[in-house]
């Protein structure tokens, strides 16, 4: 589709020239009266001071010492347990490195400043917000750390102490919130809202708005609505859309920012309005690249790549700025991509499309604006395509791709077919001048670790925690390591160190790899050969998630101050020594699941550091969808335990009996004391109820878990939630 320009065919028009004058005049602005670039960025060329390394979003760390000759020396030198686990793991963003400090935000909005050398905490700021999905994260500038502290508020923290300096609320709409990692430039903090707040996505009336805040005061300087129609294309009672999920690119020569925008909704439609008929037309400015003046928010140009999107195919990835050779002359280009599974190159001045390239598995049906009757399977699906950031270096784009389908009808998507375990991945190298694919590497699991170039290497990571390093020129693999957890985040690089969030699973960590670390780890293993194996540094064969300890934490054993008994199982709310053969500790010890089983019966104990319910779900297909759940609490000394089933991605989860099933909890009990709730129950391994998971001895079971401060099915899990795996006895 040819780019349409709000201010005419080029920024050479009067309005465009006026916007440029404003941009140039604002280049000198900054809180400290200096240049537009924060000192943390201008002085940190060898650090990682911005979400994607630099304002161009290249994710290229050319100043690093790591290369193909020494990459084998990389090893883990420290890891930091990530406490905040949400519906999509514990980490879905990029750390920031400034000098000798790593700044990081988890998926409960908690913020940490860590020593780059050791990983020791310098300060922490806990918000413990459960509804965010990311990709969130910090921005650093002018002595402050800027974060979304929850769904609605942006906060500035003192970079040295973590104390709050100011807070600004961006959304008064309960179903519209912040899921972006901010960026900073010219005294401004750039953020955006999206019409999704964790458990409620694309509720009617939600409009994504891009905002620029004064870095000193938090005042809103300008706003830009990514929806061109205040009445949401004629039907605000049904429609929603837009917003930005990833940080913009900034052209520091012109002061123009470049944003990728999200999709319109409902997708694909509703019973009354199939195939998006509630929102006729292209639904601007969704699924677009928009160029905005950094100081005023005025739009210079836009280019929509997918009009009237039916499939949640955001054009969300951070744009990349570079130059290409065009007939012997240099041309300034901006590259974009998203979940529709295509990469695009645009002229940076006019928005003219230069080329596009399909990456990954792609169906032409993804371009449909009306769905046929029945079910249509489409690649990429709602969680496919280019999900995480691209990288650029020396004329080549490196694109991580997810191959995962979705089944659609004109009025709905079948979420039961969305299975992360069925997803595969690719890393695709593209000639940035022509769009020609140079090489492809395939992965067995989803490529959700972004792409990062370090000298002559390009790094990528899989959902299962496998990190790969390839020769940038040929795609030849030269190094591989298994992180201690699955990966849904992307790294920062400084000098000899790579800091990578591994946030998927039961034991999420922020992990630092460093040259020389492999030798240190080997020496440590030699010294502790006969010591405690739990002290070993995670290496290439570390398990991803859900490894079970053989001893329960002492805090759980002693919480009720009841003498321990090496006895058989009893549903008394006391996890006694010898009562269970396995247990798994999650969220820094705040939740523990213990179990034993034979061929017929499963016995389980749930312990949560909360004075409300504790819950577990077995084998969800997406978030909570289709999970076989057990929830329990203690009130007035009496325990309640329910056999539930989650009918949706975020619930509800009614009792099995309400759905036509049966209550298959054979016996249960519980106790509550000293801030802990413990629930124990037994059930058949295979109940025969279609709303219960049928277990087999020896199998590994995916779980989700949650704890709350209240005893109610109506209250959300406001203390903690997450996922993991347990292995049943054979």
- pLDDT average, residue stretch 478-496: 95
Asked if residues 151 and 195 have their Cβ atoms less than 8 Å apart, the reply is: no
Q: Is pLDDT above 70 for 69?
A: yes
User: What are φ and ψ of residue 472, in 5° steps?
Assistant: -60, -35
pLDDT reported for residue 562: 32
- pLDDT average, residue stretch 666-671: 94
Band (421; pLDDT cuts 50, 70, 90): confident
Q: How far apart (Å, rounded) are the C-alpha atoms in residues 396 and 400? A: 13
pLDDT reported for residue 197: 73
644-to-631, 657, 681, 693 alpha-carbon distances in Å:
7, 8, 14, 11
3 state DSSP class of 231: coil
Least confident of 210-219, 467-476, 494-503, 673-682: 673-682
Q: Is pLDDT above 70 for 530?
A: no
pLDDT reported for residue 718: 59
Q: Is pLDDT above 90 for 394?
A: yes
- pLDDT average, residue stretch 134-154: 96
Asked if residues 644 and 630 have their Cβ atoms less than 8 Å apart, the reply is: yes
pLDDT reported for residue 713: 63
Task: Name 326's bridge partners.
Answer: 329
Q: Is the dihedral of CA 458, 459, 461, 466 positive or negative?
A: positive
pLDDT reported for residue 9: 24
pLDDT reported for residue 229: 94
- pLDDT average, residue stretch 277-284: 97
Q: Which residue did the predictor score with more confidence, 387 or 587?
A: 387
Among residues of the chain, what percentage have pLDDT more than 90? 69
pLDDT reported for residue 33: 52
pLDDT reported for residue 131: 80
pLDDT reported for residue 527: 46
Q: How far apart (Å, rounded) are the C-alpha atoms in residues 3 and 324? A: 19
Among residues of the chain, what percentage have pLDDT more than 70? 86
Average pLDDT, the chain: 86
- pLDDT average, residue stretch 176-204: 90
pLDDT reported for residue 198: 61
pLDDT reported for residue 86: 79
Q: Is pLDDT above 90 for 665?
A: yes
pLDDT reported for residue 534: 29
Q: Is pLDDT above 70 for 622?
A: no
Q: Is pLDDT above 90 for 115?
A: yes
pLDDT reported for residue 578: 82
pLDDT reported for residue 31: 62
Q: Is 570 exposed, middle or buried (CB count within 10 Å of its CB: 0-12, 13-18, 19+)?
A: middle
Q: How far apart (Å, rounded) are the C-alpha atoms in residues 76 and 73? A: 10
Q: Which residue did the predictor score with more confidence, 724 or 73?
A: 73
Q: Which residue did the predictor score with more confidence, 321 or 367?
A: 321
> Tokens for 640?
């309640």
- pLDDT average, residue stretch 170-196: 94
Q: Is pLDDT above 60 for 4?
A: no
> Tokens for 449?
């670790």
Q: How far apart (Å, rounded) are the C-alpha atoms in residues 512 and 500? A: 6
Model pTM?
A: 0.73
User: In terms of DSSP bridges, do strands 628-635 and 614-618 run parallel, antiparallel, or are they unpaired?
Assistant: antiparallel
pLDDT reported for residue 575: 87
455-to-68, 367, 420, 441, 451 alpha-carbon distances in Å:
8, 37, 32, 19, 13
Q: Is pLDDT above 80 for 524?
A: no
- HSE-CB at 369 with a 13 A cutoff on CA atoms is 11
For 249-352, strand residue ranges (E) read 249-251, 256-260, 264-265, 288-293, 299-304, 320-326, 329-337, 342-347
pLDDT reported for residue 583: 85
Q: How far apart (Å, rounded) are the C-alpha atoms in residues 515 and 243? A: 40
User: What are φ and ψ of residue 654, in 5° steps?
Assistant: -75, 165
pLDDT, tens only, 438-455: 999 999 999 999 999 999
Band (419; pLDDT cuts 50, 70, 90): confident
Cα 596-598-600 angle, rounded to 5 deg: 120
- pLDDT average, residue stretch 488-496: 96
Q: Is pLDDT above 90 for 127?
A: yes
pLDDT, tens only, 396-415: 999 999 999 999 999 998 88
Band (167; pLDDT cuts 50, 70, 90): very high
pLDDT, tens only, 534-591: 222 222 222 222 222 223 333 333 333 333 333 478 898 988 878 898 888 876 678 8
Q: Is pLDDT above 80 for 10?
A: no
How many residues are listed for the chain in this entry? Answer: 730
Q: Which residue did the predictor score with more confidence, 303 or 422?
A: 303
Q: Is pLDDT above 50 for 658?
A: yes
Q: Is pLDDT above 90 for 379?
A: yes
Least confident of 420-424, 482-486, 690-694: 420-424
- According to the per-residue pLDDT averaged within each range, which of 103-117, 579-593, 644-658 is highest? 103-117
User: What are φ and ψ of residue 422, in 5° steps?
Assistant: -90, -10
Asked if residues 447 and 426 have their Cβ atoms less than 8 Å apart, the reply is: yes
pLDDT reported for residue 714: 60
């Amino acid at each position: 589709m040819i780019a349409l320009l709000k201010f005419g065919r080029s920024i050479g028009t009067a309005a465009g020239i006026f916007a440029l004058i404003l941009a140039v005049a604002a280049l000198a602005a900054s809180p400290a009266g200096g240049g537009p670039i924060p000192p943390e960025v201008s002085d940190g060329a060898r650090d990682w001071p911005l979400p994607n390394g630099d304002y161009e979003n290249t994710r290229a760390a050319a100043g690093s010492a790591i290369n193909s000759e020494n990459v084998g020396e990389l090893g883990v030198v420290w890891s930091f347990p990530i406490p905040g686990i949400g519906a999509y793991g514990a980490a879905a963003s990029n750390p920031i490195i400034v000098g000798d400090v790593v700044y990081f935000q988890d998926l409960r909005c908690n913020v940490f400043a860590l020593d780059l050398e050791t990983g020791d905490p310098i300060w922490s700021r806990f918000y413990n917000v459960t509804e965010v999905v990311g990709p969130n994260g910090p921005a650093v500038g002018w002595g402050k750390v800027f974060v979304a502290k929850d769904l609605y508020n942006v906060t500035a923290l003192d970079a040295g102490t973590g104390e709050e300096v100011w807070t600004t609320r961006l959304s008064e709409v309960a179903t519209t919130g912040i899921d972006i990692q901010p960026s900073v430039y010219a005294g401004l903090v750039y953020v955006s809202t999206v019409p999704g707040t964790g458990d409620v996505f694309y509720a009617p009336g939600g409009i994504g708005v891009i905002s620029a805040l004064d870095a000193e005061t938090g005042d809103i300087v300008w706003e830009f609505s990514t929806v061109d129609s205040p009445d949401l294309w004629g039907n605000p009672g049904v429609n929603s859309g837009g917003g930005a999920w990833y940080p913009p690119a900034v052209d520091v020569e012109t002061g123009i920012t470049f944003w990728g925008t999200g999709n319109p909704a409902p997708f694909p439609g509703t019973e009354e309005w199939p195939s998006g008929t509630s929102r006729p037309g292209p639904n601007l400015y969704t699924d677009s690249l928009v160029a905005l003046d950094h100081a005023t928010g005025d739009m210079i140009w836009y280019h929509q790549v997918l009009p009237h999107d039916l499939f949640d195919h955001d054009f969300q990835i951070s744009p990349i700025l570079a130059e290409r050779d065009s007939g012997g002359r240099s041309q300034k280009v901006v590259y974009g991509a998203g979940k529709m599974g295509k990469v695009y190159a645009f002229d940076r001045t006019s928005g003219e499309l230069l080329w596009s390239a399909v990456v990954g598995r792609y169906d032409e049906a993804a371009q449909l604006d009306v769905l046929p009757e029945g079910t249509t399977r489409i690649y990429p699906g709602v969680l496919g395509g280019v999900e995480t950031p691209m990288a650029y270096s020396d004329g080549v784009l490196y694109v991580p791709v997810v191959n995962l389908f979705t089944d659609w009808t004109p009025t709905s998507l079948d979420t039961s077919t969305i299975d992360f375990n069925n997803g595969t991945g690719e890393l695709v190298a593209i000639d940035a001048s022509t769009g020609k694919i140079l090489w492809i590497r395939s992965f067995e699991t989803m490529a959700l670790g972004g792409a990062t170039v370090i000298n002559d290497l390009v790094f990528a990571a899989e959902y299962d925690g496998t990190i790969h390093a390839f020769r940038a020129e040929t795609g030849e693999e030269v190094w591989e390591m298994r992180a201690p957890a699955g990966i849904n985040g992307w790294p920062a690089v400084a000098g000899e160190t790579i800091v990578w969030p591994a946030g998927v699973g039961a034991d999420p960590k922020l992990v630092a790899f460093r040259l020389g670390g492999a030798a240190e780890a080997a020496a440590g293993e030699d010294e502790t050969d006969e010591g405690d194996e739990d002290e070993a540094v995670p290496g290439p064969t570390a398990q991803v998630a859900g490894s079970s300890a053989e001893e329960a934490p002492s805090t759980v054993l002693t919480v009720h101050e009841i003498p321990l008994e090496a006895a058989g199982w009893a549903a008394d709310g006391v996890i006694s020594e010898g009562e269970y053969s396995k247990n798994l500790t999650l969220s820094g010890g705040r939740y523990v699941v213990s179990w034993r089983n034979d061929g017929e019966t499963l016995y389980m104990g749930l312990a949560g550091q909360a004075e409300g319910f504790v819950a577990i779900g077995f084998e969800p297909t997406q978030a909570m969808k289709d999970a076989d759940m057990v929830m329990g609490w203690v009130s007035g000394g009496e325990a309640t335990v329910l056999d539930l089933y989650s009918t949706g991605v975020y619930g509800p989860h009614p009792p099995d009996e309400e759905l036509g099933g049966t209550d298959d909890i054979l016996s249960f009990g519980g106790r509550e004391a000293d801030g802990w709730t413990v629930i124990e129950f037994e059930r058949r391994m295979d109940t025969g109820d279609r709303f219960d998971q049928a277990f087999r001895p020896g199998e590994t079971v995916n779980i989700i878990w949650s704890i709350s401060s209240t005893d109610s099915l109506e209250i959300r899990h406001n203390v903690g939630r997450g996922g993991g795996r347990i292995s049943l006895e054979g």
